[in-house]
Amino acid sequence: MFYNILIYIRQLIYSLLIIVDLEVRKLQQVGYSTLVVSLPRKWVKEVGLERGEAISLIQETDGTLRLIPGVSKGEKEYTKLIVDADKITEEGLLTRIITGMYIVGHDALQITSRKGLRNDQSTEIRKACLKMTGINIVEQTLNYITIQNFVDPTRFPVNGLLRRLYIITSAMHDACYHAIKESNKELAVEAINMEQEVNRIYWLVVRQLLLASRDRAIGKKVGVESVLHIVGNRTAAKILEEIGDSEDAIAHEIIRLIDFGKTFEKTLLEGIFQLFETVKEIYDKTIKAFFSIDVKLANEMAQKVDEIHKQVERITEKIFMLSKKEISKENNLENRVYLITRPILWKLGEIAEYCSTLCEITINCFLEEPSELCKFEKIQQ
Bridge partners of residue 146, in order along the sequence = 110, 139
Per mean pLDDT, which of 50-54, 77-81, 130-134 is the most reliable?
130-134
pLDDT category of residue 17 using cuts at 50, 70 and 90: very low
Look at residue 230 and tell me whether its pLDDT is greater than 50. Answer: yes
Query: Is the CA virtual torsion 43, 46, 47, 49 positive or negative?
Result: positive
Every domain of the chain with CATH number 3.30.110.20 lies at: 80-151
Antiparallel, parallel or unpaired: β 34-36 and 144-149? unpaired
Q: What is the pLDDT of residue 106?
A: 82
For 32-64, the pLDDT digits (tens) are 667 788 888 887 777 777 877 778 777 665 567
Look at residue 254 and tell me whether its pLDDT is greater than 70. Answer: yes
Q: What is the pLDDT of residue 14?
A: 45
Q: What is the pLDDT of residue 59?
A: 67
Every domain of the chain with CATH number 1.20.58.220 lies at: 156-366
Q: State the Cα angle at 286 between 284 and 288, rounded to 5°.
A: 70
Helices (H) and strands (E) counted in the chain, each on its own, are 12, 8
Look at residue 74 and tell me whether its pLDDT is greater than 60. Answer: no
More confident residue, 9 or 209: 209
For 111-128, the pLDDT digits (tens) are 999 999 999 999 999 999
For the domain spanning 156-366, the CATH number is 1.20.58.220
For 100-109, the pLDDT digits (tens) are 888 888 888 9
- Residues of the chain with pLDDT > 70: what percent? 84
Query: Is the CA virtual torsion 204, 209, 210, 211 positive or negative?
Result: positive
- Specify whether domain 80-151 bears CATH 3.30.110.20: yes
Average per-residue pLDDT in the chain? 83
- Residues of the chain with pLDDT > 90: what percent? 44
Per mean pLDDT, which of 205-219, 256-270, 298-312 is the most reliable?
298-312
Look at phi and psi of residue 201 and say left if phi exceeds 0, alpha if psi is from -120 to 50, else beta. Answer: alpha
What predicted TM-score, i.e. pTM, was given to this entire model?
A: 0.76
Look at residue 15 and tell me whether its pLDDT is greater than 50. Answer: no
Antiparallel, parallel or unpaired: β 28-30 and 34-36? antiparallel
Look at residue 295 and tell me whether its pLDDT is greater than 80. Answer: yes
pLDDT category of residue 315 using cuts at 50, 70 and 90: confident
For 158-201, the pLDDT digits (tens) are 999 999 999 999 999 999 999 999 999 999 999 999 999 999 99
Q: What is the mean pLDDT of residues 139-167?
A: 90
Q: What is the pLDDT of residue 3?
A: 47
Q: What is the pLDDT of residue 319?
A: 78
* Phi, psi of 265, deg, nearest 5: -65, 145
- Residue 140 CB neighbours (<10 A): 15
Look at residue 379 and tell me whether its pLDDT is greater than 50. Answer: yes
The rounded distance, in Å, linking the Cα atoms of 358 and 286 is 7
Q: Which helix (H) or strand (E) holds 217?
A: helix 216-221
With beta carbons less than 8 A apart as the criterion, state whether 340 and 316 touch.
no
Bridge partners of residue 70, in order along the sequence = 55
More confident residue, 381 or 131: 131
Query: Is the CA virtual torsion 109, 115, 118, 121 positive or negative?
Result: negative
More confident residue, 7 or 368: 368
Query: Range with the lowest mean pLDDT among 6-20, 26-40, 202-216, 238-252?
Result: 6-20
Q: What is the pLDDT of residue 306?
A: 86
